[in-house]
Amino acid sequence: MRDSLRMDDVIGFVLNGERHSLSRAQVLSAAARGGPEPIREHWVSVGDQAWPPKQLLERALGVARTEFISHFAIRQFRRLGFSTSPLPHEPTGRRGVTDLGQAFTDMVAFLTTEDLTARVGWLEKELTGAGLADLADREGGMTDELLEAALLVRQHAGRINDLIHASMIIRALPKILEPGERIARRPSLASGNDPDRKFDLQTDRRVAEFKGAGWKGHDTMRKRMLVADLVGLVLGRGELRAELYVLGQLPVEFLRTSNSPVEWMLGRSSPNLRRAYEQHFGSAAMTVSQFTAGPAADVALIDLAELLGIA
């Protein structure tokens, strides 16, 4: 807590894209206008009263409490020197941010306790016809703490796909490079290739693409991207060997059995790839399975799960 706090101390912050300011005087004035609602979990202490943080910030700021969560309100009150309840996973008497590891643990525990789809379906039924007074017991475990945990995890996990992509290539290299083989061009370890690097891996003997997404059976965008990579390997490999690494057998089965037209699968690919395909194959209408068995017959389809010994 800061020393020598004054009534005219003012803080500024952004809420939902709008700039706001708040002073101790505003908070004290809001607390003087009627009493607090019952405390459910979090609190902020003003004088000899404990207030629900969302109620008090709504009153002091003039913004509906549905626009923010309790943790946001607590942080603003702390900046003005008011005592509050601890945030989740924060030892009493110590102020700090939510622990990322604990937030992830809590989120995973929630997701594995009960099927999320079933829980959401139950909530949808429960909320139908509900009014304000009915909401307290119909949140289905989706608390302020869970929301903040999920937001914190998402903030730090935004590049998880890049991590998986890079890790798979790094772990695969010792298993696939041959004696004397050299990586000829800078590899593309992050998801996606830039124009100067057509392939994830290019050596003096091969070109390769790596797809680390796990399939569940309904994977339209993943299928499109997989077909685009296969076509790109066929058209751009030159005299080099071509390999397509995937995670699990579902992608391999799709390439070998799908009757979807290749042209349709390339519908959202880059114009350059679509143009190159048309120039090379003309009006020949091929399904994915026909392309895999024909022009791409010598592209090796390799299961990363088997190669790396992962589930």
Q: What is the pLDDT of residue 155?
A: 67
Q: What is the pLDDT of residue 174?
A: 94
User: Nearest-5° angle of CA 185, CA 186, CA 191?
Assistant: 125
Whole-angstrom Cα distance, residue 136 to residue 30?
Answer: 24
Q: What is the pLDDT of residue 277?
A: 94
Per-residue pLDDT of the chain in tens (311 residues, 90 and over written 9): 333 344 456 888 888 778 888 998 899 999 988 888 888 888 998 887 889 999 999 999 999 988 888 888 998 998 888 888 887 655 543 333 357 777 787 777 777 766 777 778 877 888 888 787 777 666 777 777 778 777 777 766 666 777 788 899 999 999 999 999 999 998 988 765 556 778 999 999 999 999 988 887 777 888 999 999 999 999 999 999 999 999 999 999 999 999 999 999 998 888 889 999 999 998 778 999 999 999 999 999 999 999 999 86
Half-sphere exposure of 164 (CA within 13 A, CB side): 16
Q: What is the pLDDT of residue 87?
A: 75
User: Nearest-5° angle of CA 205, CA 211, CA 214?
Assistant: 150
Which tokens belong to 32?
Answer: 């003087």
CA 182 to each of CA 26, 177, 303, 308: distance values in angstroms, whole numbers, following the listed order: 68, 8, 23, 21
- Which of 61, 65, 95 lies closest to 78, judged by CA? 95
Which tokens belong to 207?
Answer: 């070109």
Residue 84 · residue 44 · CB < 8 Å: yes
Residue 149 · residue 106 · CB < 8 Å: yes
